Each structure stands twice: as C-alpha cells, then as structure tokens.
Amino acid sequence: MLLEAESVDRALACDARWLQALRHDWLALIELAVWGGPDSAKLGAVPRLRKRTVELGEKLAVLGAPPRWIPQPRERLKSALATALALRELLAQCAQAIEELEDNAARDALRAALRALAVRAGERLDDCAARWAGMLDAQLAPEEKE
C-alpha cells in the first residue's frame, strides 16, 4: 500500500481546539515553572524542570504544525509518530523533575498543571499515534494477490 500525500496530511491534521487547549495548559505550566516560585535543595532541579517544560512546548508546537517540508509522506508519518512518543517521554521527565522540588504549594501547583496537560494530551495523542503507526504498518504489510 502506497501512502498518498493527501491521506497523510489528513491523518496528521490535529483538532485545532485540542491544540489550543494544549497550548493553554502548557502556558500555565511554564508560567508556574518560571514565576511560580519552585524551589529545590537539589542542585539543578529547577533549571532542569524549566528546560524540560520548554522542550515539551516545542514538541507540542511540532504536533500542531506537522513537517510539510518533508517530501515523503512516510517520513512525515514517522516524524509525527516520533513527536508523539517524545511528548510522552517529556511528560514523564517533567513529572520526575517536579518530584525533585521542595514539597510546598509551588510543587503542588506544578503537579496539578502537569496532570491537566497530560490528561488533555492523552485524550487524543494515543489515538493519533495509533492511527499513524497503523498507516505505517499497513504500508509494510504484504499486498494480497488478486
């Protein structure tokens, strides 16, 4: 099965309202990470959290703007799937970084903001990734002879 550019573009198009909600949740998270007063006795914990949060935002932006500059549809799907997997990993890394902070109201607020973002991302991210993986798998499946 050959992947057609139009079908890949349709598959990669994410719901604009969902993306806007993810952006809103991420903005709340980054605001708390920078301005919310996180503190840690562990050296580098706060900068690490901020770095991971910025990386998370970058991946969310990529999710909302699939790489149209990649000419091969299969490679665009692979890139989108890699982005989805990277998002899952970054969510876990942010959660781990939050646990390195001092136990206070700032950490609780960060935890809640990350949970909200993770829940919203999980609403559709797994379905999108499964759809993209399915399209890639279908391409590799042997064609039936007629």
Per-residue pLDDT tens over the stretch 14-69: 899 999 999 999 999 999 999 999 999 899 999 999 999 999 999 999 988 876 77
Residues with Cβ < 8 Å from 53, sequence gap 6 or more? 26, 29, 30, 33, 94
pLDDT tier at 143, thresholds 50, 70, 90: low
In a domain, 63, yes or no: yes
Task: Name the domain count of the chain.
Answer: 1
In a domain, 145, yes or no: no
Q: What is the pTM of this model?
A: 0.87
In a domain, 77, yes or no: yes
Token pair, residue 30, equals: 């980054």
In a domain, 146, yes or no: no
Burial class (CB in 10 A: 0-12, 13-18, 19+), 104: exposed
Domain that holds residue 40: 5-140
CATH of the domain at 87: 1.20.120
